[in-house]
Structure 1
Amino acid sequence: MAKLNNRFWFQLHGWFSLPIWLIFCFVCLTGTIAVFSHELTWLTNPASRATNPDKLPAKPVAELVAKVQQAYPTADVGGVMLFEPYLVHAITFTDQDKPFAIAYVNQYSGKIQQINEGITFIGFMRSLHGWLLFPWQSSHSIGYYLVSAMALVMLGALVTGLVIYKNFWRSFTQPKIRFKQGKKTILTDLHRLAGVWSIWFLMVMSATGLWYLVQAVMWHADIDIEPHAPLVAVTDIPAQHSAPPVSFADAMHIAQQRFPNFQPSYLMLPEHNRGMYSLMGGGEHIFYDQYSYNLSINPWTGDIAHEKSPANMTALQSVMHIADPLHYGTLGGVWTKAIWFLFGLILSGMSVTGFMMWGSRTVKAVRASRNARSLQEINHGA
């Protein structure tokens, strides 16, 4: 009975990942690459590098926006994306001959180093990993559901693996890989050892993946986790003014006064007369992402119409802003990214070794079945 029970758990462990092992492996690999997407962008695209040989201080973001507006007088600047100090600022805009463009502006020299009118490597890798480039229909994507559902596969493989591998904790103190006992034994030892040492990583990926699945369902059901940015009241817009009196520089100053540790990451300018400055950034909380602080500033009055920070978030909002740093390993900078990258490779390797083990057993079982059938036919003929 115990043998039958172990066999059941072993088969369940295999079926949790084998039917979609290729997708699972692909998601693991793309996620691993996405962890270092910023560093790979710096490595492969010289125009993305924020070189600063003269050790100049970073210029105000509003000044960089003015540089783009001077270079393209008819452009409509939509927003600014800020990354690590070694990457340039990305200023998005539209123009007469540019439906959508991104200006790579060096924040130290103020030089426009490139105009990108296509998808960026960072955006491509995050999209490929997040929803496999499946199209979005209104508020949902089949690809997003498919990727986030991998959390159930991962959690099931983790639980069944721990049930199968008795006394798994010994791999922490007495790790072993038997190189002289054949391919099957080596694969089994590597798979088990990697699985035990990756328990914490599997738990983090499963938990954050499950949250992404819940988030997808809420988006699909039009349940807002965070409120939409408010609109400027019609009464706040003077009839005689053609442009708002509060400039982008003023809005940035207001945000810095409200949150002294505000580190801007995504800044949106008003799209129309009733639009507001929407300023998002991080702060001193390392477990929260770079969008955990959000201010909506009225461009006509300078009032803060809405604000959000870790201090006044709901429980769901807190989970939403903690999930990404835990999933991509950005909470501690390049060092935690390196750890996440390493364990991402290990997880990808586990999916490969698991498939190889399953394939080896399947081939062996098929051969044994054929031999048994042949023997039966021989005996029957005799």
Structure 2
Amino acid sequence: MKRKITKWAFKFHGCLGLTAGFFFLLFGLTGSMLMFRSNMERHFNPELHHLTPASKQVSADQIYRMLVRTHPNLQKLVLHDFPQDKYDSYEFMLYKNQQHVTENYLYYVFVNPYTGKILKEGNYQDLSPFFMRWLYSFHYSLQLGIPGKLFTGMVGLVMVFSLITGTIVYRKHFWEAFRWQAGLKFKNRRTTVSTLHRIIGVWSVLFNFILFFTGFWLNRKEFTSVGWKLHPPHVNYVISANLDAVIAESKKVVKGFQPIAVNIPATQGDDIMVRGHMPQTTFFLLQGKPSSIFFNATTGRLTRIAPIEQQNFEKRSDWEVYQLHIGAYGGNWIKWLYLVLGLTPGVLSVTGALLWLKRNRKY
């Protein structure tokens, strides 16, 4: 029975690798390239982060009202990044009200806080001026909108099954690899490729399982009808509450709260959501901006406080899964680890394909 299971797993493992190996390589490579996206963007776009300070600033509320008038048919606006220092700009992310399933709904706008003028803006489907934004969208949707996100989620599932079948096939070699007793063998070309495939597969199996399963999880909504729902065009709703007053109030209602981003509704009935870090949040996968403080969009009054620890299991796990997927929980050394290990799906795809060709006497 064990031999039959192993034989079946071997065939299934090979089929999965041949079917989706190119995409394993593609998603692993693009994911590695994205690990230092924000650092690279700041480095290559100094005009956005080395501004000339002035004595007066334009309020975030004024900038919001300019953007909501000049950019129609939005789902929401997000004050994505506050200026980090007196030389930095505001970054707003605009979520377009998607009209076609293949449409890219993400749009960025950088604004000078001293003049209120737009410094740079564009869609995530544009290769320039921000290639890394294009790559980000390509990584999770292949620039194909909802169908692309569905396909990406399917590739994640295929990789999970490939890892499970690979574990069954190479289960006897795990202990050898972990004890550093399974070294590379250079007897011939096939042996070299085979041992390289096995060693890298064993050492990266847990990482790749986490990476591709979380990739599927983040796109799971596209497996349901909700993820494919489109909304008719509308006129942007303009909030009456003052954005700067709301941000200031969020710091008062919870002592030690650090506002990081603000979700501003473009449809009537939704609250303003100030997202950030609560002082009591210590778990390493719940860092960043998972907690929220809500304010009425008309009156600016506090409606509720939602620390991440008090939110339901789905919302907590969504943030934890996101943090695991992007490696945003341990500083630069975790990012470097993700960058290196993110290349292993590509190595496994290439070595697996070479083994298949050799077995079929084509290599």
TM-score after normalising by structure 2: 0.75
Alpha-carbon distance in structure 1 between the residues aligned to 2:221 and 2:69: 39
Residue of 122, 128, 136 corresponding to 1:117: 122
The 5 Å alignment of 1:182-221 reads: 182-218=188-224, 220=226
The structural deviation recorded for 1:335 is: 2.2
Alpha-carbon distance in structure 2 between the residues aligned to 1:93 and 1:5: 51
The structural deviation recorded for 1:64 is: 5.0
Q: 1:156 to 1:275 in 2, by over 3 A?
A: closer
The structural deviation recorded for 1:174 is: 1.9
- The answer on whether the counterparts of 2:60 and 2:243 sit within 8 Å (CA) in structure 1 is no
CA displacement, residues 272-305 of structure 1 (integer Å, 9 cap, x when unaligned)? 7766433223444431264412233124433222
Alpha-carbon distance in structure 2 between the residues aligned to 1:243 and 1:174: 61
Higher mean displacement: 210-219 or 179-188: 210-219
The structural deviation recorded for 1:145 is: 1.6
The structural deviation recorded for 1:307 is: 3.8
* 2:243 maps to 1:248: yes
Partner of residue 90, structure 1: 91
Q: 1:32 to 1:83 in 2, by over 3 A?
A: farther
Alpha-carbon distance in structure 2 between the residues aligned to 1:79 and 1:294: 13
Alpha-carbon distance in structure 2 between the residues aligned to 1:82 and 1:260: 21
Partner of residue 98, structure 2: none
Alpha-carbon distance in structure 2 between the residues aligned to 1:243 and 1:142: 33
* 2:162 maps to 1:157: yes
- The answer on whether the counterparts of 2:211 and 2:325 sit within 8 Å (CA) in structure 1 is yes
SS in 1 for 2:34: helix
| Amino acid in the other structure paired with 2:299 | T
- The answer on whether the counterparts of 1:68 and 1:103 sit within 8 Å (CA) in structure 2 is no
Gapped regions of structure 1 (runs ≥ 5): 95-99, 136-140, 224-231, 233-241, 366-382
| Amino acid in the other structure paired with 2:252 | Q
Partner of residue 10, structure 1: 10
- The answer on whether the counterparts of 2:20 and 2:158 sit within 8 Å (CA) in structure 1 is no
Q: 1:2 to 1:64 in 2, by over 3 A?
A: closer
TM-score after normalising by structure 1: 0.71
CA displacement, residues 88-113 of structure 1 (integer Å, 9 cap, x when unaligned)? 5313589xxxxx97443477x88968
Alpha-carbon distance in structure 1 between the residues aligned to 2:273 and 2:8: 54
- The answer on whether the counterparts of 1:79 and 1:91 sit within 8 Å (CA) in structure 2 is yes
Partner of residue 330, structure 2: 332
Residue of 312, 318, 321 corresponding to 2:319: 321
Gapped regions of structure 2 (runs ≥ 5): 96-105, 125-129, 230-236
- The answer on whether the counterparts of 1:266 and 1:279 sit within 8 Å (CA) in structure 2 is yes
SS in 2 for 1:287: helix
SS in 2 for 1:178: coil
The structural deviation recorded for 1:202 is: 2.1
Q: Which has the larger radius of gyration?
A: 1
Q: 1:262 to 1:123 in 2, by over 3 A?
A: farther
Alpha-carbon distance in structure 1 between the residues aligned to 2:239 and 2:5: 74
SS in 2 for 1:281: strand
The structural deviation recorded for 1:364 is: 4.7
Higher mean displacement: 300-309 or 33-42: 300-309
Partner of residue 297, structure 1: 295
Alpha-carbon distance in structure 2 between the residues aligned to 1:197 and 1:310: 33
Alpha-carbon distance in structure 2 between the residues aligned to 1:25 and 1:101: 28
- The answer on whether the counterparts of 2:152 and 2:216 sit within 8 Å (CA) in structure 1 is no
Alpha-carbon distance in structure 1 between the residues aligned to 2:107 and 2:46: 18
Identical counterparts, % of pairs: 21
* 2:140 maps to 1:130: yes
Residue of 298, 307, 312 corresponding to 2:310: 312
Alpha-carbon distance in structure 2 between the residues aligned to 1:243 and 1:349: 51
| Amino acid in the other structure paired with 1:134 | L
Higher mean displacement: 320-329 or 160-169: 160-169
Alpha-carbon distance in structure 1 between the residues aligned to 2:175 and 2:264: 54
Alpha-carbon distance in structure 2 between the residues aligned to 1:344 and 1:356: 20
- The answer on whether the counterparts of 1:81 and 1:266 sit within 8 Å (CA) in structure 2 is yes
- The answer on whether the counterparts of 1:177 and 1:186 sit within 8 Å (CA) in structure 2 is no
Residue of 175, 181, 191 corresponding to 2:187: 181
Partner of residue 280, structure 1: 275
| Amino acid in the other structure paired with 2:188 | G
- The answer on whether the counterparts of 1:92 and 1:101 sit within 8 Å (CA) in structure 2 is yes
- The answer on whether the counterparts of 2:218 and 2:322 sit within 8 Å (CA) in structure 1 is no
